[in-house]
Structure 1
Amino acid sequence: MLSQIKRLGADSLLYAFMNVGTKLIAFIMLPVYTSFLSKTQYGIVDILDRLTSMLTFLVIFGTDSALSFYYYDTKDENKRLLYVQNVMYFRLFVVAILFLLVVVAGPWFAEKILENSRYVDLLYVNLFTLLLDTIFVVVTTVMRFEFQTKKVVLFTVLKMLLVAFLSYMALKFFSSTPSGLFMGRLVSSVVVFVLMLRMTWNYLKFRIQWPILKEILVYAAPLAPTSIAFWVISNSSTFFIQGFSSLEEVGVFGVALRLAMMITLVTSGVQMAWRPYSMSVKDKEDSPYIFAKIYMALLLLGLFGVMVVATVSPWVMKTFFAPSYYEAYQYVAFLSCVTFLNFYYLIISVGLFFKKETGYITRIFAMAALLNIGLNFALVPFFTGWGAVIANMATYVFAVSFIFRKSQQVYYVPVSFAKMAFLFVNTLISTSAIVYVQETKMGATFILLSWVYFLIMVLASRVDREFRRQPATENL
């Protein structure tokens, strides 16, 4: 058991280094970008980024999970290559369809979505970037499956550095508009594609085999609506804010969402290592006990990260951002909690992936998406940003709770849901207290008291007992 956990830890550490590096670069560049762009212009960037994320879900179409399963399900290297090639060309085909749609109706899309038809050029730039990023993601995914962690880290960090540098140069010397930012991203993707061409070439050889593609899509198709539901949950608030308020408010809320991603400094390394790791140990006799310890350890780590984000957000906004963006800080901690739940469902749903019951995830997130739309419609017109925060939090609590329950039914992991819920609720109480203290300027002493309450609740939960559980057959 210890050796397996050590391997996850080693890979997670490298991925954490990569993600900490890339997230820090993104964090450093966010105030740089907002210094060039007005709140309205940044609102346009945020809207386009959310549209691109939806298109990314459509391109992937659940094939990431399918490729993960079938790649480990066979030891035949040629068949593994076939799986990769079929996934690659399926995704490129979807990108081609998207290009065709923009050619036919691009100006209309730009007018309806971005409020100006001249932004159609941004749609083309984003699609070219999506094309190159699709190839990059497939190749680095295979590297992860092969535990080539160092290569994944190297190319990912390099890509992010190029995005930061070239986007800054484009904004400064080419155009201080969204066009400059997106051109910098496109050129970065071109450079990385050229650098990786040698190792990419084998996966770009055209070898479509319908039985292989059908096998992939049968596994993936139930997850595709889930991806669309994810997009709705993650992004509908932005469009409700745009509809009921303005692009300026979208810009402020978009900055809060970006800063909320700071929590992924803690979680993203584990997320990248988790699928290969969990699939590789699922048949071990003591795997449920391994997962139980990981469930609880990651929950504690994530909740601690939310508390840290809540504490430092005002200082971050005041130090690095223009005063017009300062109000975003109040949303950041709660959106960080939402971001953590979006990660955590992947961890606690292993049973559904092992037993091929991923259709349940689709049904739950379809309901969650409808819930999210309803809550946004009811709350955003009256509470704007806070309405969006409440809608997203309630949505993910609903989804994670039901997914965990079902996963436990098909693959039991000996961990206490009651303790997990207790810790989560008390973290929300502590976080709310910190934000209230910051809003009312009550002083650092009361923030310290909020931390004391949080730590007392962790100790009171006796979470240490979860880590001491062992299989009955294990020699102590």
Structure 2
Amino acid sequence: MIRTFFKDSFLYTLANLFTKGIGFVMLPVYLNFLDKVEYGTYDYVFTIGSFIAVIVSLEITQSVLRFSSEAKSHQEKSLYITNGVFFNFVSYTILLIVGLLFIEDLSLFLTGQSDQKSIAFLALVSYFVTSTLYMSSIVFRSNLDSKSATISSAFSAAIVAILGFVGLNVFEQSLIVILLSTIIGQLIVVVYNYSKISSYWLNKPNYNVLKKMLLFSSPLVLSSLGVVLSTLVDRMVIKELLGFSELAEYGVAARFASIVTLITLGFQSALAPLIYSQLDNPNVKSSIKKLFSIYCCASLLIFAFLFFVSDKLLLVIAGDNYHNSSYIFVLLSCAMLIQSAYVFFPGLSISGKTKMLAIINVAVGIANLLGNYMLVPAFGIEGAAYSTLFCSVLFFLINLFFSEREFSVLFEYCNKSRRITRS
């Protein structure tokens, strides 16, 4: 299991490195063409996309990953994937229709102006295409096909970056160009991915199977929404209380903090399907424990490195206009590293106690929402970062406590020694 994990984790990390590398190359380009208000709007549009991704399709990707990873035959696996792809498509089609009916209100919500209908429309299309691309990545992951997932992610990032760079140097409306490049670049990869996995999704949907999948994934909506609240609600509060300009500074810091996902997403992408497929393995817990130890060491090294280079990194890439973002960058990096460690403690998911997981995530999300409303007026964007860091620690500790009661990983050997002593 460990060997497979590191192979897949390396490939996912490589893809993240490439994707984030292109993102950092493009960041100064975006900041050169967008003023603070425009960049704040850009950041907010994609923040709302993260909320929509959780709610609209009822986290059906979680069911695809769970059930198709456990499937024993191609036919069984195809049944879960077909229903997942079908439900995701229908859900976002409904979103697109509803969004068009209330396009002025959506424009006001996303940009602060009711006449930016083109941006609102392109945002809707972008959400649709991004969700479709993500579903294909889930299919690759459920088949432990880390190579295909890596290649599609890298190609998508590269095409989007090339189209964005060319478009920004040719056309004037920068934000529209960025959205169009995202849509076209991802759509190209979507067509390729779905032609490659056609044997898995070109089947007739099954109502009973879909019902089973939704019964599993629906409770996770609150759970995932809580996670999104705990990580992204800060942007919403900053936008409402301070404005798009301050949101731009915070957004740049958050973009830099996403450097830590080079390790966390690689671990998460590789570990989840491996755990579900290896539950019958008697060594699975000891393997997870070893991987968690490695993750902790790697996280400390990454945090120390980012702590010392944050000022210079922001100055070189973002410029003087964003020099206040360096401290925020450090706080958010620490928060991401701590919160992402939850993947090593899957007890609640394995035992099927998704409602408890939802309660934890929602509670932490609400705590972060309240924390932001209390701290942002007093400390500005630093208050938002403090609230996010505190809630990341809170989430990890609560999840650790309840997960260990269902599927003990960290304290398994301590429990064994106690049982031996008592006997």
- Which residue of structure 2 lines up, in the alignment, with residue 402 of structure 1? 398
- Which residue of structure 2 lines up, in the alignment, with residue 387 of structure 1? 383
Distance of 2:277 and 2:191 partners within structure 1: 32
Is this contact kept in 1: 2:20–2:259, CA < 8 A? yes
Give 3-state SS (helix, strand or coil) of 2:116's partner. Answer: helix
Structure 2 residue 218 is the aligned partner of structure 1 residue 217: no
Distance of 2:379 and 2:244 partners within structure 1: 16
- Which residue of structure 2 lines up, in the alignment, with residue 124 of structure 1? 121
Distance of 1:261 and 1:102 partners within structure 2: 29
**Alpha-carbon deviation of 1:147?**
2.2
Greater mean deviation of Cα atoms: 216-225 or 136-145 = 136-145
- Which residue of structure 2 lines up, in the alignment, with residue 141 of structure 1? 138
- Which residue of structure 1 lines up, in the alignment, with residue 202 of structure 2? 205
Q: CA offsets, 1:71-102, max 9 Å, x none?
A: 13331321211110111111112111211221
Distance of 1:375 and 1:414 partners within structure 2: 30
Is this contact kept in 1: 2:78–2:203, CA < 8 A? no
**Alpha-carbon deviation of 1:11?**
1.2
Distance of 1:269 and 1:201 partners within structure 2: 26
Is this contact kept in 2: 1:36–1:176, CA < 8 A? no
**Structure 1 portions without partners, runs of 5+:** 417-464
**Alpha-carbon deviation of 1:15?**
1.3
Distance of 1:414 and 1:40 partners within structure 2: 46
Distance of 1:414 and 1:196 partners within structure 2: 38
Distance of 1:158 and 1:35 partners within structure 2: 24
Query: What pairs up with 1:227-246 in 2 under 5 angstroms?
Result: 227-246=224-243
The alpha-carbon distance between structure 1 residues 196 and 408, as it changes in their structure 2 partners (threshold 3 A), is: closer
- Which residue of structure 2 lines up, in the alignment, with residue 454 of structure 1? none
Q: CA offsets, 1:100-144, max 9 Å, x none?
A: 221111111212342112222122212222222322222222222
Is this contact kept in 2: 1:15–1:269, CA < 8 A? yes
Q: CA offsets, 1:385-439, max 9 Å, x none?
A: 11101111111211111111011011111449xxxxxxxxxxxxxxxxxxxxxxx
The two structures have a TM-score, normalised by structure 1, of 0.83
Structure 2 residue 38 is the aligned partner of structure 1 residue 41: yes
**Structure 2 portions without partners, runs of 5+:** none
Structure 2 residue 245 is the aligned partner of structure 1 residue 248: yes
Structure 2 residue 18 is the aligned partner of structure 1 residue 21: yes
Match among 58, 82, 87 for residue 85 of structure 1: 82
**Alpha-carbon deviation of 1:211?**
0.6
**Alpha-carbon deviation of 1:60?**
4.2
Is this contact kept in 2: 1:88–1:138, CA < 8 A? yes
Structure 2 residue 294 is the aligned partner of structure 1 residue 291: no
Which residue type is aligned with residue 353 of structure 1? Answer: S
Distance of 2:191 and 2:237 partners within structure 1: 40
Match among 355, 364, 369 for residue 360 of structure 2: 364
Query: What pairs up with 1:315-326 in 2 under 5 angstroms?
Result: 315-326=312-323
Query: What pairs up with 1:435-454 in 2 under 5 angstroms?
Result: none
Distance of 1:190 and 1:384 partners within structure 2: 38
The alpha-carbon distance between structure 1 residues 9 and 227, as it changes in their structure 2 partners (threshold 3 A), is: same
**Alpha-carbon deviation of 1:162?**
0.5
Is this contact kept in 2: 1:261–1:336, CA < 8 A? yes
Give 3-state SS (helix, strand or coil) of 1:61's partner. Answer: coil
Which residue type is aligned with residue 361 of structure 2? Answer: F
**Alpha-carbon deviation of 1:254?**
0.4
Distance of 1:409 and 1:212 partners within structure 2: 30
Distance of 1:65 and 1:288 partners within structure 2: 22
- Which residue of structure 1 lines up, in the alignment, with residue 55 of structure 2? 58
Give 3-state SS (helix, strand or coil) of 1:196's partner. Answer: helix
- Which residue of structure 2 lines up, in the alignment, with residue 452 of structure 1? none
Structure 2 residue 356 is the aligned partner of structure 1 residue 334: no
Distance of 1:415 and 1:260 partners within structure 2: 31
Is this contact kept in 2: 1:40–1:247, CA < 8 A? yes
Distance of 2:383 and 2:283 partners within structure 1: 44
Distance of 1:194 and 1:26 partners within structure 2: 23
**Alpha-carbon deviation of 1:257?**
0.4
Q: CA offsets, 1:423-469, max 9 Å, x none?
A: xxxxxxxxxxxxxxxxxxxxxxxxxxxxxxxxxxxxxxxxxx99xx9
The alpha-carbon distance between structure 1 residues 104 and 203, as it changes in their structure 2 partners (threshold 3 A), is: farther
* Sequence identity (%): 21
- Which residue of structure 2 lines up, in the alignment, with residue 274 of structure 1? 271
The alpha-carbon distance between structure 1 residues 72 and 181, as it changes in their structure 2 partners (threshold 3 A), is: closer
Distance of 2:369 and 2:127 partners within structure 1: 27
Give the CA RMSD over aligned residues: 2.1
**Alpha-carbon deviation of 1:197?**
4.4
Is this contact kept in 2: 1:334–1:389, CA < 8 A? yes
Structure 2 residue 195 is the aligned partner of structure 1 residue 172: no
- Which residue of structure 2 lines up, in the alignment, with residue 72 of structure 1? 69
The two structures have a TM-score, normalised by structure 2, of 0.94
Select the structure of larger CA radius of gyration: 1
Distance of 1:264 and 1:376 partners within structure 2: 23
